[in-house]
Amino acid sequence: MTGLAQGVVKVIQQKVEVSVISEPPPPPPPPPKIEKVVQQPTTPKPQAYVPPVVNPPPVTQSANAIQAVTSDPKPQPAPTPAPAVEAPKGPVSAKANCSHLEAPEYPSKAQEDEIQGVVSVVFSVGASGKFGGEASFNFSGDIPPRYRSSFKSAITTALQGYTCQANSQLKQEFGFKLDSGA
């Protein structure tokens, strides 16, 4: 209107170049993160020591025993029992509670057919510290049902050679792996 903006109009009317700039390609996705899984050998958990309960023998008095009698006997305070250590519930590690362990023999047919896997066993030990014949098996890995009886048999034979803490329920894992270098 007053003419002051005529210079701005000339700048706006100048030729403007427009070119299409392609977007840069997206960066390649980062390579997958490779984590090396190292299995730590399982160390058996330390078991709490429970001292055996020892009852004192009963006191018998003979005919010649002299008893001390006081006119005002003081009552003895009742002994406070030591806090009971609770025994662990469920099965405990065979490796920590057995003095003699035997490795089971790899079933030959399973070895020929390259069957591998892990068998977890929970078993009972009697008063003699020997395997009582009762066991439950849990199979993992690639052990087909038709091979399981041969694995059970091999493990049962090995358990019969164990010497363990008497009257306990124990657990152990047996890994059946083929050497890849052979």
52 occurs within a structural domain: no
Considering its fold, how many domains does the chain have in total?
1
- For the chain, the average pLDDT equals 73
140 within some domain: yes
Residue 153 binned pLDDT confidence (cut-offs 50, 70, 90): very high
Q: Measured between alpha carbons, how far is 95 from 46 in angstroms, rounded to an integer? A: 11
Residue 123 located in a structural domain: yes
Mean pLDDT, residues 142-154: 90
d(CA 130, CA 113): 33
| Those residues with Cβ within 8 angstroms of residue 38's Cβ, 6 or more apart along the chain or in another chain | none
Q: Which domain holds residue 146?
A: 89-177
Q: In what order do the strands lie in the sheet with 168-176?
A: 92-93, 168-176, 117-125, 131-141
Per-residue pLDDT tens over the stretch 109-126: 888 988 888 899 999 989
Domain CATH for 114: 3.30.2420.10
Q: Assess if residue 109 is contained within a domain.
A: yes
Let me know if residue 62 belongs to a domain. no
Domain membership flag for residue 128 = yes
Q: For tokens 């152990």, what's the residue?
A: 172
At 105, list the tokens.
């023999």
Q: What is the pTM of this model?
A: 0.50
Indicate whether 53 belongs to any domain: no
pLDDT per position as a tens digit, 8-37: 666 656 555 655 665 666 777 777 666 666
In a domain, 163, yes or no: yes
